[in-house]
Amino acid sequence: MKSSLLFLMITVFMAGTPALAKATTITFGVNSDYAMPLLKIAYSGERPELDEGILKDLGEAISKELNVEPKWFLVPKNRVAPSLSAGKVDILCHLNEIWQPKIVNDVWWSAPLYKSSNVLVFLKQPNPSSLKDIRGETVGTVLNFIYTSLDPQFKNGSLKREDGPNNVANIQKLLKGRLRYIVMSNLEYAYYKNIYSSMNSAELDMDVVMTKCAVSKKSNLKIEDVNKAIANIHRSGKLNSILRSYYIKDVL
């Protein structure tokens, strides 16, 4: 009698908990070469961990819509493509096909998130109306980053490229007078302008894209579910709220 009752209880429990058969976590890849407002890395001992930033807030918002817990996997830019192709991460956001041409067909691309473009940042120089106005200058860039609008000038020598590890380092070069111009995304400029009010920018329609999430084709995560989650955070205003918390407007 006791064994029959135990069997019945187990059967009822298993029937009432179908979620246990499904994935309860998804692994978000995060490009560790970025800086705020996209991400801030903290260290627990010697181990780096995602602490805050747009990518953390975005991942948490998408995970909530999917009813799963996010797990973060920090990866340098040159390992983003292999990590997605190999299925080491389920999803990585703030991407675009132009930035990762080698894996365009190896991942599922989501619906758009928000607009990203590059702006030319300077301090007291006259506002350039085109790249011709800064001919011969050295421009601060980020190592391994692609600048489609500037690459022809870098190749023909009309502009010189100076790579830094990230734009936090480049801003310091700008403020200390080591560089007269740096290039960064519109998202970064909106955030850092609030901190360094002396910075100015010229929007020259450089590298304008709509960012997306890329889902590994080796993941069990369905692109349809991701797109539904993105639609929901757009419609609810959650995505706009995340961006505005970092002083970013008019990019949706």
203 and 230 in a single domain? The answer is no
Number of helices (H), then strands (E), belonging to the chain: the values are 8, 12
- Alpha helix (H) ranges present in 90-206? 151-156, 167-175, 186-193
153 and 233 in a single domain? The answer is no
104 and 159 in a single domain? The answer is no
| Beta pairing class for 91-95 and 25-31 | parallel
Residue 74: exposed, middle, or buried by beta-carbon count in 10 A (0-12, 13-18, 19+)? Answer: middle
Instruction: Name the residue among 59, 10, 14, 19 with its Cα closest to residue 38.
Output: 59
CA dihedral angle for residue 132, residue 148, residue 37, residue 179, rounded to 10 degrees:
-40
Q: Is residue 9 part of a domain?
A: no
95 and 219 in a single domain? The answer is yes
97 and 216 in a single domain? The answer is yes
For the chain, residues with pLDDT lower than 70 are 1-23
10 Å Cβ neighbour count for 44?
Answer: 8
Residue 125 pLDDT:
87
102 and 121 in a single domain? The answer is no
What does the chain come to in residues? Answer: 252
175 and 228 in a single domain? The answer is no
For residue 177, what is the DSSP state? T
Residue 220 pLDDT:
95
Residue 22 pLDDT:
57
Q: Is residue 252 part of a domain?
A: no
State the total domains in the chain: 2
Q: Is residue 14 part of a domain?
A: no
CATH number at residue 89: 3.40.190.10
- Maximum pairwise Cα distance, the chain: 89
- Rounded CA-CA distance 31/38 in Å is 9
Q: Report the run of H or E that residue 109 belongs to, with start and end.
A: strand 107-109
46 and 91 in a single domain? The answer is yes
Q: Is residue 12 part of a domain?
A: no
SS3 content of the chain, % helix, strand, coil (to 5): 35, 30, 35
Instruction: Name the residue among 166, 56, 145, 34 with its Cα closest to residue 100.
Output: 145
Residue 1 pLDDT:
47
Instruction: Name the residue among 65, 22, 29, 2 with its Cα closest to residue 225.
Output: 65
CA dihedral angle for residue 220, residue 224, residue 230, residue 233, rounded to 10 degrees:
-100
144 and 177 in a single domain? The answer is yes
Token pair, residue 42, equals 């903290």
| Angle at 67 (CA atoms; ends 62, 72), nearest 5 degrees | 55
- Return phi, psi of residue 22, to 5°: -100, 160
Q: Is residue 201 part of a domain?
A: yes
70 and 147 in a single domain? The answer is no
Q: Is residue 216 part of a domain?
A: yes
Contact 75, 31 (CB under 8 A): yes
179 and 71 in a single domain? The answer is no
CA-to-CA dists, residue 176 to 108, 123, 244, angstroms: 43, 11, 29
- Return phi, psi of residue 70, to 5°: -80, 140
Residue 9 pLDDT:
42
Range of the domain at 182: 116-208
Residue 183 pLDDT:
98
Q: Is residue 2 part of a domain?
A: no
Q: Is residue 233 part of a domain?
A: yes
222 and 103 in a single domain? The answer is yes
